[in-house]
Structures are given as C-alpha cells and as structure tokens.
Amino acid sequence: MTATSRQLPAPGSARSRLGWRRVKKARAPAFKYTALLIFAVIVLMPVYILIVTGFKGVGETDPAHAWSLPSVWTLSAWHEAWTQLSPYMLNSLKLAVPATLLSTILGCLNGFALSKWRFPGANIIFTLFLFGMFIPYQAVMIPLTELLANLHFPAQLPRLALAHIIYGIPITTLIFRNYYATIPEDLMEASRMDGAGMLRTLWSVVLPISVPAFVVTIIWQFTSIWNDFLFAVFIITDPSQYPVTVALNNTTGSLVSAYNLQMSAALLASLPTLVVYILLGRYFMRGLMAGALKG
C-alpha cells in the first residue's frame, strides 16, 4: 500500500496551483460579505435616523443632531402618531385588503385564460393589457375622477378600491400569465385526459401550485395600493376617508416640523407592508413545481 502511494506522481506546480485556488475560494466570501455589509449600511442609515428620531422629544429633533441617540428615550411621538394615524390606517386596510384580493383573483383568471386556454387573439389582448401598465396615474387623473363620479358609487373607499383594482389588472395578469407559462402543457393535458374541464383544471391542478404567483402578486399589489398617494388625493374628497398615506402627509405642519412625530408616523404607516413581506416572504421561494416532471 505504501509503495503504491509513494509511486503516485506529486508535481509541485500542480499542488501549489491547487493551493492558490483554495485560498481564493476562502477569500471570495470575505470580499462578498464586506461588499454586502457596506451596501446594507448605506441602505439602513436612513432607517436608523427614522427610528432614533422617533424616540426623541420635540426639542431634540433639529437636523444638526440627527445622528445622535436621544438623550431621553420617549414614546410620546409614537403615541401621538398612533392617535393621529390609526383611523386612517383602518381606512387603508379597508382599501388595500379587498382591492389586493380582487385584483389578484382577476389576474389569476386572466393569466390562466391567456396562457393555458388560449383563444384566437389571446396575444393581442395580452399586449393591450400590457399597455395599461404604462399609462401613468397622472394621465388618467381627470377622466378617472369623472368616470368614478358618474358611476354613482356613494362610498369613497370602494371608489378608490375600484380604481386600484382596474389599474392593477395589467400587472397581476402579467405575473400570473408568466407563471402559468412555466407550468408544462402536459400537466394540463393530463388533467383533460383525466376528465377535468377548464374550471376544474384551474381549481384542482393549477391553483394548488400557484402559491408563488399569488404571493408575489399579493405583495406587489398590497404594497402599491397601501403606498399610493396620488389616486387617494384626487378620488377621496371626504377627509375622514383618507388612507394613511394622505394622513401622513398631513402631519407635516405648515410652520413647525415635528420631525419626531413624522418619523414615527412614517414607520407606523409602513408597518403593514413589512408585515405582509414577513408573513408571505417565506412562501416566495417555495419550488412547488419540483417533482411534476422527470426533474
């Protein structure tokens, strides 16, 4: 045994090259993580100011001391922000949840029809859908307000929700259509051969494996509806019905800027979108398609 191992050629050059590669391998993550850390710090700096300022008293909030920690930690700004914003948070919730769900369901149905139950002209219709995505809010502000007024929708929030649902259809359709394009045709055909019709196939075969598409769409729609400001400003006329974004804007005093209040209010207003990410994010990466085919 020893004899054979001694006979093995051991060229030094090859070994050193191997060694160098090992060093490089060990260094690569270090570089990577350093770079990532730098970017993370850059991204998180404003968040730091947001949080520390929120805990400061009114007297401490001048921009010159923005970086320093509060000398006295106080929850007064948070308390104040919550009392001011909570009714509007509820408005936003009443707006964003149904609008997100409805536009997602519509996108799912559209995407399914456009990719799996293709009909003549499906591509043209899809292109027209996509056009909708490139129309800026500002361009439709006046006609949209007119239209919604003529619809005689009495309540203000449902009116705004309707606008968001319709405006969301292109992007939700796009996401679902592209996701469904990755579902193999064989699966649909197997379902057809098993005797399932179009709706049954959608319900029993396609929907259960659509979780990733739903998650992406829900995160996207909830975030954009929750964060929208412009539609809310021109569609809602009754100040008590404002969503939180508009209310947040109104915390800015015209003479004195209460930075601590604004900071904590901004953070509170963005919490729900964070929660959606945290709750749904883990489904994001789930590869539900694994095992469908030979793979």
Nearer to another protein, 24 or 294 (CB): 294
CB of 211 to another protein, least distance (A): 9
Task: Using the minimum distance from each CB to another protein, give the nearer residue, 181 or 274.
Answer: 181
Pick the closer one to another protein by CB: 191 or 264: 191
> Phi/psi at 94 (nearest 5 deg)?
-65, -25
* Binding-site size, another protein (CB under 8 A): 25
118 binds another protein (CB under 8 A): no
State yes or no: residue 200 binds another protein (CB under 8 A): yes
Which x/- pattern over 208-237 shows residues binding another protein (rule: CB under 8 A)? xx----------------------------
Using rule CB under 8 A, residue 181 touches another protein: no
Q: CB within 8 A of 60, min separation 6: which ones?
A: 70, 71, 72, 260
Q: Which stretch binds another protein (CB under 8 A): 16-24, 202-210, 213-221, 224-232?
A: 202-210
The span of 88-96, 167-175, 229-237, 282-290 binding another protein (CB under 8 A) equals 282-290
Burial 27-46 (b: 16+ CB within 10 A, else e): eeeeeeeeeeeeeeeeeeee
Tell me the CA end-to-end span of the chain in Å, nearest whole number: 42
Residue 195's SS3 state is: coil
Nearer to another protein, 11 or 291 (CB): 291
CA distance 90 to 71: 33
Q: How far is the CB of 145 from another protein (least distance, A)?
A: 44
Cα–Cα distance list, 30 to 25, 44, 189, 198 (Å): 10, 21, 49, 52
Q: Candidates 91, 104, 156, 191: give the one binding another protein (CB under 8 A).
A: 191
**Applying CB under 8 A, which of residues 49, 66, 122, 190 lies at the interface with another protein?**
190
Cα distance between residue 157 and residue 71, in whole Å: 42
**Residue 285 binds another protein (CB under 8 A):** no
What distance in Å separates the CA atoms of residue 23 and residue 15, rounded to the nearest whole number?
13
Site track 121-150 with another protein (rule: CB under 8 A), x = hit: ------------------------------
Closer of 197 and 281 to another protein (Cβ): 197
- Measured from the Cβ of residue 6, the count of other Cβ atoms closer than 10 Å reads 8
Q: Rounded to whole angstroms, how far apart are CA atoms 92 and 243? A: 5
Is 73 within 8 Å of 55 (Cβ atoms)?
yes
What angle separates helix 156-181 from helix 137-150, to the nearest 10 degrees? Answer: 130
For another protein, give the closer residue by CB, 23 or 290.
290
State yes or no: residue 291 binds another protein (CB under 8 A): yes
63 binds another protein (CB under 8 A): no
d(CA 188, CA 201): 7
Positions in the binding site for another protein (CB under 8 A): 184, 186-187, 189-197, 200, 204-205, 208-209, 288-295
